[in-house]
Amino acid sequence: MTGCAPLWHPSPNFGPRRNGLRPQLIVLHYTAMVSAEAALSRLCDPAHEVSAHYLIGSDGTLWQMVREDMRAWHAGAGEWMGDTDINSRSIGIELDNRGDHPFPDPQMQRLEALLPRIMTRWSIAPEGVIGHSDMAPGRKCDPGPRFDWQRLATLGFARPARRSNAATAATPQSFRRAARACGFTAEVDDATLLEAVRLRYRPWGEGPLCPDDLTPLLD
């Protein structure tokens, strides 16, 4: 899909970025609503006090609601790499998806056209492209287990997961250290942290912590 000019649909739900902060993250969400139009209405309704910079429909339609230099209200409470106020540090992209079905190819193609433009404008590294569940573990689960992070990583638009056949001993302590080094610094219990990391790197994972949970976090 070529071109990435968004349809401008301004939301009143925004403000200035605080403390001179600028975007260093891109946070991906799913809308969990019945349609892109319903999500657009909510994201632009002052009564709901939520917004995002962009919304991508399942057919690839792209809307922009907030200018990138402004602070949209999409992330809420959370932490990444030891930093809070993620709204002031990020650009939010909503994807029209309920969370229980695959993300259509036209939507993914539009996201893949949008991401490098934002990353270039703000010098955001692939490691700075994260999910809502990454920075708000236990509170949020989007973009969910059906989102294809590996597809983005292959294109250089997200952190790749390490793949290795060598088993690495995994303990709660070693897992937490590795997760924190990758950015998962929110204060949560071991089970919640494991769930958040699995959502990002191996959503098919089940049961107690195992070496395969640790491996994707290692450099």
Q: Which residues are catalytic?
A: 94
Amino acid letter, 43: L
Render 147-174 in DSSP notation, one character per residue: S-HHHHHHTTSSPPPP--SS-----HHH
CA distances (Å), origin 4, targets 18, 31, 74, 116, 198: 28, 20, 21, 11, 31
What are 82's two structure tokens? 């030891």
User: Within 10 A of 30 (CB to CB), how many other CB atoms are there?
Assistant: 23
Are the beta carbons of 216 and 160 closer than 8 angstroms?
Answer: no
